[in-house]
Amino acid sequence: MTDRNNERIPSAERRVQILEAASRVFGERGYFGATTDQIAREAGISQPYVVRMFGGKENLFVGVLSRSLERLLVAFTDTIEQWKADGSPEGPDSPEGPSAVTPAGVHGEIGRRLGLAYVNLIEDRGLLLSLMQAFSMGQDPTIGGKARDGFLTIYRLLREGAGFSPEESRSFLAEGMLLNTLLGLRMTDEYDTDPAAKELIECTFRTKLQLVLDVSATEGARA
């Protein structure tokens, strides 16, 4: 796609297009391994166009971080609001058993719903992995501060919105980071060959296992 063609696309739409591409590239390669040229190719536009819109890689990464946090917070907020609209049920997990990211001791029903909402975000390729990349950059004066603010915003939502205790919030976040780690390691590549990997993957993703395997297969074919 040429810049001339891009001029016909509204600026807001072009921005989303670039952020989606950058999320995938940063998620796969990390902040230091990714380049604006790679992101431009992924988005189907020229590298100067990306720089003109965002001003450089750091600003682009901050944009990806903001987009990822916003999508996560919207997914969690919508889930909590629906749970409350349903009467905030506190019963046990569904008959099919606990869902992904629902550690023992966490509110059964809302923990199950938030876990499903979290795992469903892997369909937005790169979103969860780009968050993990940001959370590993605490030393960076710009990215680190924004990542900490975002992480604490998620924590406050769990505490105040879902009503989790500090321990429940810690457990939920720890499960989420394990999920991100397995995705980042591409542990699903070992699913059919290593019994330990298979056991860990099934224990972690549970009812969302097939979704994770399907997304990973798509990523593998694309690599």
pLDDT tens for residues 180-210? 999 999 999 999 999 999 999 999 998 889 9
CB atoms inside a 10 Å sphere around CB 183: 21
How do the domains of the chain map onto residue ranges?
61-222
C-alpha dihedral (119, 121, 126, 128), degrees to nearest 10: -60
**Furthest C-alpha separation in the chain:** 57
pLDDT above 80 (res 173): yes
| Residue found under tokens 């009503």 | 163
Contacts of 99 (CB under 8 A, 6+ apart): 93, 112, 115, 116, 119, 206, 207, 208
DSSP state of 126: T
* Mean confidence (pLDDT) of the chain: 88
Can you tell me the distance from the alpha carbon of 18 to that of 64, in angstroms, rounded to the nearest whole number? 9
Name the band, by pLDDT with cuts 50, 70 and 90, for residue 94: very low
* Structural contact between residues 76 and 154, judged by C-beta atoms closer than 8 angstroms: yes
Model-wide pTM > 0.75: yes
How does pLDDT run across 44-71, given as a tens digit for each residue?
999 999 999 999 999 999 999 999 999 9
Mean per-residue pLDDT for 3-20? 76
Indicate the angle between helix axes 143-156 and 127-135, nearest 10 degrees: 110
